[in-house]
Amino acid sequence: MKNIAVIGAGTMGNGIAHTFAQFDYKVNLIDLSETSLEKGMATVTKNLDRMVAKEKISEADKTRTLGNISTFTKLEEGVKGANLIVEAATENLDLKLKIFRDLDKFCPAETILASNTSSISITQIASATSRPEKVIGMHFMNPVPIMKLVEIIKGYSTSEETFKTVEELSKKLSKVPVEVNDYPGFVANRILMPMINEAVETLYNGVAGVKEIDTVMMLGMAHPMGPLALADFIGLDVCLSILNVMYDGFKNPKYAPCPLLVNMVMAGKLGAKSGEGFYDYSQNRKAETISSQFKK
Domain spans in the chain, listed from the N-terminal domain onward: 3-181, 191-294
Q: How sure is the predictor about 212, in pLDDT bands with cuts at 50, 70 and 90? A: very high
Give the model's pLDDT for residue 255. Answer: 97
| CB contact at 8 A, 43 and 8 | no
Give the model's pLDDT for residue 9. Answer: 97
pLDDT at 286 over 90: no
Annotated catalytic residues are 118, 139, 151, 189
Residues 10-24: what's their mean pLDDT? 97
Q: How sure is the predictor about 282, in pLDDT bands with cuts at 50, 70 and 90? A: confident
Give the model's pLDDT for residue 49. Answer: 98
CATH number of 191-294: 1.10.1040.10
Give the model's pLDDT for residue 267. Answer: 96
pLDDT at 251 over 70: yes
Residues 38-45: what's their mean pLDDT? 98
Share of the chain above pLDDT 70, in %: 95
Q: How sure is the predictor about 99, in pLDDT bands with cuts at 50, 70 and 90? A: very high
Q: How sure is the predictor about 288, in pLDDT bands with cuts at 50, 70 and 90? A: low
Report d(CA 124, CA 120) in Å as an integer.
8
Give the model's pLDDT for residue 182. Answer: 97
Give the model's pLDDT for residue 296. Answer: 46
Q: Mean pLDDT over all residues of the chain?
A: 94
Tell me if the domain spanning 3-181 has CATH number 3.40.50.720: yes
| CB contact at 8 A, 121 and 128 | no
pLDDT at 209 over 80: yes
pLDDT at 218 over 60: yes
Q: How sure is the predictor about 1, in pLDDT bands with cuts at 50, 70 and 90? A: confident
Residues 205-234: what's their mean pLDDT? 96
